[in-house]
């Protein structure tokens, strides 16, 4: 695997992530759903204030157990989209204005190789600005780890973990898609 | 204790009007903290969160942080989370296990039963002056554990918790008891904490029995997000209460519930389609519960609010929610999700997934509640808006006493629970004694009965 293969792959993955963010911000929710693998895991833990040394074990709620902000699958995300499309989901009616920014993109795992990547684990930062109705605004900032799976000349999101840098959630709702 | 606020004019439940001031005015907020949150029994947490000696869980009472702690001998305490020296928060972890709470500021340390133990340089600086026994962490004078749930009051004169709860206990039991009717046995599987730009009473009142707001949940009812939604069913939960009589009951101490009184021969309604094991579990629990509870099994829960700020969802979903005021227009919400501790893993998994998609800030149902509460608060803060009261005239007088269950019971959607709640709220703000607050010394009520 050459450095150029890796660079090309990184560019391809970044383009995918930016395109995906754009679909959400352009409110192309159904097209966005098409980017999700059928076996998607979509997870946002709740962060806790723990003693030094206990972070690995206790700071974040765990996927697959207990209560997190999100621990769901493609069906549930499909329901979230369906709900917005009813036009009577008042928490998103009228629709929020949202910008998803993605930065600090890094390829964490590539298999089997950069010149024939089928599965890629990519880390990034997200900065999401939500503004709704007149004066309401929220900023969601954190780290994200995505597992992407090759799908022809594009990718599917097979796993998304969103590490939001908040303890008590400072927004009244998580009504947007992350 | 008297108040300068014209409470009787602002809370006129005889005519069904309540001033918007009580939802937006900083003066009312301060009065509530002084006169209501210092006296009423408040929900603190659950024993499943502190199973072992030295376990603690940091909670809230009104605007203040408190530590729920099981001391090294096993006794449970609730302490104000503030050092006696200069007030530093002695614990800024959410939960854990410790033998000492060591204050980060000047290192006074307190044992798990609240006693001041360590005072650096005590001999040199304090000998003969500071009596350590006098400077323990401030502890709630009243604490009660009921079926795993921990409650406390700052008022040493407060009646015992069971008296305070009164007949609302039959409804709270439906939240706390095992699904098969065994008493207690629930555990907390997770907690949501989030900030709502709303007055806390909007949330409490919503759970108190505001079934009238159902249309705001049309989107989830249309698309179906319930436990059987994957099998194509619409609605936001299973239709477990087929043929039941919906009842809205209020109680003299201010509690209000929306429950269902099932017919004598009621039968299990299939639910949790697509999860045969879960359906089977609930069918089994249903039959066991009927055998165990007899006539009492006919009470099935929807929602309720225990005065002043602890709300619950009884079954789908199931949990307790506490609304902590930050200011007149900001609330910190905490939701404790419950399951039967001994339920099979698959049952717990299906439930937690349903809870997450239904409840809280990411919950498809409750997002719409939060939107309502926010903008109802915002649109009530204006000078003109505050001149016009809210309307509470729904189903005036349409209730019976102790029929078919204890309490003032309506069989139609009603704001009676809210009228009763604000009558009790007014008594707290006027500084009434406990006989009045519990409704036992209420001449009007006595005459009416
Ligand atoms: S404030 Fe705690 S020791 Fe001084
Ligand atoms: Fe609601």
Q: Could you tell me the CATH number of the domain that includes residue A16?
A: 3.10.450.50
CATH number 3.40.50.1000 given to B9-25+167-448: no
Q: What is the CATH number of domain B42-144?
A: 2.102.10.10
Q: How far is B324 from chain A (nearest CA, A)?
A: 13
DSSP state of B386: G
Q: Decide whether any atom of ligand 1 lies within 6 Å of the B108 Cβ.
A: yes
Question: What pLDDT digit, counting tens, does each position of A114-125 carry?
Answer: 999 999 999 999
For chain A, the domain total comes to 1
The 8-class DSSP code of residue B213 comes to: G
For the sheet with A119-132, list strands across it: A70-72, A36-44, A154-164, A136-151, A119-132, A97-111
Closest CB to A66: pick one of B196, B352, B375: B352
CA of B89 to the centre of ligand 1 (A): 9
Sheet of B42-46, strand order:
B42-46, B149-153, B142-146
Within-domain flag for A42: yes
Considering only CB atoms, A66 lies closest to which of B96, B189, B370, namely B189
**Checking DSSP bridges between strand A154-164 and strand A36-44, what pairing results, if any?**
parallel
A150: domain range?
3-164
- The interaxial angle of helices B366-378 and B200-209, nearest 10 deg, is 130
Residue A169 falls within a domain, yes or no? Answer: no
Is beta strand B116-118 parallel, antiparallel or unpaired with respect to B95-97?
unpaired
Q: What is the pLDDT of residue B306?
A: 98
Domains B9-25+167-448 and B42-144 share a fold: no
| Predicted pLDDT of residue A178 | 98
What pLDDT was estimated at residue B441? Answer: 65
Q: Does A52 touch chain B (CB under 8 A)?
A: no
Residues of A in contact with B355 (CB under 8 A): 67
pLDDT digits (tens, 9 = 90+) for B38-81: 999 999 999 999 999 999 999 999 999 999 999 999 999 999 99
Q: Is the CB of B213 under 6 A from ligand 1?
A: no
The pLDDT value recorded for residue B105 is 98
Mind listing the pLDDT tens digit for each residue in B332-344? 999 999 999 999 9
B105 within ligand 1 shell (Cβ under 6 A): yes
Domain segments of chain B as ranges: 9-25+167-448, 42-144
**Cα–Cα dist B175/B319, whole Å:** 7
Residue A64 placed within a domain: yes
User: For residue B357, which residues of chain A lie inside 8 Å, CB to CB?
Assistant: 72, 76, 79
Q: What is the pLDDT of residue B440?
A: 86
């Amino acid at each position: 695997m050459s450095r150029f293969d890796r660079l090309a792959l990184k560019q391809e993955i970044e383009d995918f992530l930016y395109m995906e963010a754009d679909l959400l911000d352009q409110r192309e929710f159904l097209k966005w759903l098409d980017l999700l693998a059928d076996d998607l895991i979509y997870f946002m833990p709740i962060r806790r204030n723990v003693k030094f040394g206990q972070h690995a074990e206790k700071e974040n709620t765990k996927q697959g157990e207990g209560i997190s902000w999100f621990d769901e699958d493609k069906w549930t995300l499909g329901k979230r989209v369906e709900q917005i499309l009813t036009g009577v989901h008042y928490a998103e009616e009228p629709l929020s204005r949202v910008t998803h920014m993605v930065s600090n993109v890094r390829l964490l795992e590539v298999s089997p190789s950069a010149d024939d990547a089928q599965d890629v684990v990519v880390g990034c930062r997200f900065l999401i600005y939500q503004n709704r109705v007149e004066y309401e605004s929220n900023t969601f900032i954190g780290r994200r780890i995505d597992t992407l799976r090759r799908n022809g000349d594009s990718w599917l999101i097979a796993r998304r973990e969103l590490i939001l840098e908040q303890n008590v959630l400072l927004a009244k709702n998580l009504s947007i898609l992350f | 204790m008297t108040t300068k606020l014209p409470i009787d004019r602002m809370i006129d439940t005889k005519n069904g009007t309540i001033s918007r001031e009580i939802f937006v005015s900083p003066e009312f907020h301060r009065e509530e903290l002084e006169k209501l949150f210092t006296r009423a029994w408040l929900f603190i947490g659950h024993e499943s969160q502190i199973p072992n000696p030295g376990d603690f869980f940091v909670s809230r009472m009104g605007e203040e942080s408190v530590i729920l702690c099981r001391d090294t001998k096993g006794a449970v305490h609730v302490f104000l989370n503030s050092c006696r020296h200069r007030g530093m928060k002695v614990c800024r972890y959410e939960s854990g296990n410790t033998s000492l709470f060591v204050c980060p500021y000047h290192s006074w340390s307190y044992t798990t039963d609240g006693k001041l133990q360590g005072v650096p340089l005590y001999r040199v600086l304090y000998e003969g002056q500071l009596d350590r026994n006098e400077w323990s962490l401030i502890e709630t004078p009243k604490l009660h554990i009921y079926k795993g749930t921990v409650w406390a009051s700052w008022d040493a004169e407060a009646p015992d918790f069971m008296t305070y709860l009164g007949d609302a206990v039959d409804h709270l039991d439906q939240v706390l008891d095992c699904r098969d009717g065994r008493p207690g046995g629930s555990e907390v599987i997770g907690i949501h904490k989030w900030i709502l730009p709303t007055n806390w009473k909007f949330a409490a009142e919503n759970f108190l029995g505001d079934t009238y707001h159902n249309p705001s949940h049309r989107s989830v009812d249309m698309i179906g997000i319930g436990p059987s939604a994957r099998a194509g069913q619409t609605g936001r939960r299973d239709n477990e209460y087929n043929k039941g009589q919906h009842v809205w009951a209020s109680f003299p101490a201010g509690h209000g519930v929306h429950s269902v009184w099932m017919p004598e021969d009621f039968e299990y309604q299939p639910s949790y389609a697509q999860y045969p094991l879960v359906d089977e579990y609930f069918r089994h629990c249903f039959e066991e519960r009927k055998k165990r509870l007899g006539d009492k099994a006919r009470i099935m829960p929807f929602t309720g609010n225990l005065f002043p700020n602890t709300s619950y969802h009884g079954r789908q979903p199931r949990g307790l929610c506490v609304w902590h005021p930050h200011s007149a227009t900001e609330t910190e919400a905490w939701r404790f999700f419950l399951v039967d501790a001994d339920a099979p893993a698959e049952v717990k998994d299906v439930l937690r997934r349903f809870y997450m998609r239904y409840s809280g800030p990411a919950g498809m149902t409750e997002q719409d509640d939060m939107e309502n509460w926010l903008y109802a608060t915002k649109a009530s803060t204006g000078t003109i808006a505050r001149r016009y009261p809210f309307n509470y005239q729904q189903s005036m007088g349409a209730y019976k006493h102790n029929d078919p269950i204890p309490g003032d019971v309506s069989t139609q959607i009603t704001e009676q629970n809210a009228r009763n709640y604000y009558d009790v709220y007014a008594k707290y703000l006027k500084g009434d004694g406990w006989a009045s607050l519990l409704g036992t010394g209420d001449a009007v009520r006595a005459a009416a009965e």
